[in-house]
Amino acid sequence: MPISGPGRFITIEGGEGAGKSTQLGLLAARLKLEVKNAGVVETREPNGPIRNLLVQGDRSWTPMAEALLHFAARAEHLEETVRPSLAEGLWVLCDRFADSTMAYQGYAQELGRDRVEALYEMVVGELKPDLTLILDIPVAIGLDRAMRRDITETRYERMGRAFHETLRTAFHDIAAREPERCVVIDANGPVETVHEAIWAAVKDRLNVE
């Protein structure tokens, strides 16, 4: 039985421009409004000084080096933010987590599931998100949204159409393998509609009154 302490750990995953950051903010606000005494921590990965190495510029890492950078950032993020917050009983909402490493490095950069799973076991161990929301959107629409969002953090955005199609399939595969943890959310609609679908999933899966 995976233990994540008395707090709740929710991760939001999906391709570029799916609306993860937008929806994370809305979910945090909804939890504070509707769940009595809910303390909410909003965070994201990759985090810290390693982030810029991964999301900016056009440096080409080997897939293993790239996965290790993600897990190095994750190791710090887990110890500094995620585990202490869960232990305090907070709701931790994380914009991307290990499923992104699995999709991007494991599938799209062809490192393979086994290697990413081995790194997960070493770095994250028993901890698992209580719920993972996978925002699904056609690639072209997501990339179009992402282009409007940011002009510096574009390293992954620029990886080409086939790469992003593989990512989308990868997230579906990840969800199908762990249906008790993952919910695929149709993110191709108005912000409010997507938010309501997310809120329904959170209430259903995490027994929110």
**Contacting residues toward ligand ATP, per CB under 6 A:** 16-22, 145-146, 148-149, 190-191, 194
At which residue do the structure tokens 């809910």 appear? Answer: 38
Span near Mg ion by CB under 5 A; candidates 3-11, 16-24, 73-81, 178-186: 16-24
Nearer to Mg ion, 5 or 189 (CB): 189
**Helix 113-123 and helix 63-77: axis angle, to 10°?**
30
Cβ(114)–Cβ(67) below 8 Å: no
Please say which residue, 153 or 203, places its beta carbon nearer to Mg ion.
153
CB of 21 to Mg ion, least distance (A): 3
Q: Does 21 bind Mg ion (CB under 5 A)?
A: yes
By CB under 5 A, tell whether 154 contacts Mg ion: no
**CB-CB contact of 159 with 105 (8 Å):** no
Find which of ligand ATP, Mg ion, none residue 190 binds, CB within 5 to 8 Å per kind. Answer: ligand ATP
Residue 51 interacts with which of ligand ATP, Mg ion, none, CB < 5 to 8 Å by class: none
Q: Which is nearer to Mg ion, 115 or 145 (CB)?
A: 145
Mark out the alpha helices in 56-97 (DSSP H runs). Answer: 63-77, 83-87
Integer Cα distance of 38 and 113 in angstroms: 35
DSSP 114: H
The whole-angstrom separation of Cα 53 and Cα 118 is: 23
- The region of 18-26, 54-62, 175-183, 197-205 touching Mg ion under the rule CB under 5 A is 18-26
State which residue, 83 or 199, has the beta carbon closest to ligand ATP. 199
Q: 112 — phi, psi (to 5°)?
A: 100, 145
Task: Using the minimum distance from each CB to Mg ion, give the nearer residue, 143 or 208.
Answer: 143
Q: How far apart are CA 209 and CA 202, in angstroms?
A: 10
Q: Rule CB under 5 A: which residues touch Mg ion? A: 20-21
